Amino acid sequence: MAEPKKNLKIRFEGRLDNLVINYGGKVLYSYKKEKKREKGKTEKQKAAQSKTAITAAFCSQINQIPALKYSWKKWPDMERKPYRNMLAANMRHTSPEHLTIHNIISPKSQYEYNNFCKSVTSSEIDIRISSQEFSSINTENGKTFSIIVIICFFNSKDKSKESYKLLTLCKEIENFDQLKTYNIKFQIDPEKQKEFKEYRNCIIYNTVLFSALTSGPQKWYSTYGLEFVLNKPEEDEVK
């Protein structure tokens, strides 16, 4: 009686990259894994990545000021770290090129004001807080309060330069007087003045916190950004 031929059995576990099966000098099976084509990022992906990077840079500036960082502990989610709260509140308001007037440096509070900045030049920023604004916030006289300003420069004259830049300014004022109007000047040092000349526009963000810069504030103003034109386009300047 003739012996039955044994069947060919092959078992393979793991990844198949390049597999060739020969039997009796013949190729029974050949598998070659196709290399995945590297796909470039879509415009939508690039925009999302840019928005994330700009928002993260903005929140990093906020996070470096202890009093401002403290104010973000509970809003919008008290279970998150302050930095995560900053990101959550700002991400959807950022554009792929720069921040917008809807970004915020302090969380929402019951004390709201549009913006305290009255004028901007390359040498100084003028902040004005009148007794009328202070009348809405109930706090004791004699305390220290802090003013924080963050500037986002954008629309560079030279398109080869960064699409935006950030600058942070802080000042503490002692002996708060609710009946007094404060005209506060932030002087810009010569090194920083070049940003005012290199960019056509800027957005000023500011807030007032009732504490020293290193303390935990119990009260603060929530505000939005205010855009200023720093330099008109060259064609307008010629006219």
The HSE-up count of residue 39 (CA atoms within 13 Å, CB side) is: 6
Full-model pTM: 0.80
Local structure of 25: helix, strand or coil: coil
- Segments in the chain below pLDDT 70: 1-40, 234-239
Q: Cβ–Cβ contacts within 10 Å for residue 53, how many?
A: 12
209-229 CB burial, b ≥16 within 10 A, e <16:
bbbbbeeebebbbbbbbbeee
Tell me what pLDDT residue 89 has: 96
The HSE-up count of residue 227 (CA atoms within 13 Å, CB side) is: 13
Tell me what pLDDT residue 147 has: 96
Tell me what pLDDT residue 235 has: 45
Q: DSSP character for 199?
A: E
Tell me what pLDDT residue 128 has: 95
Residue 143 CA to residue 128 CA, distance in Å, equals: 18
Cβ atoms of 107 and 75 within 8 Å: the answer is yes
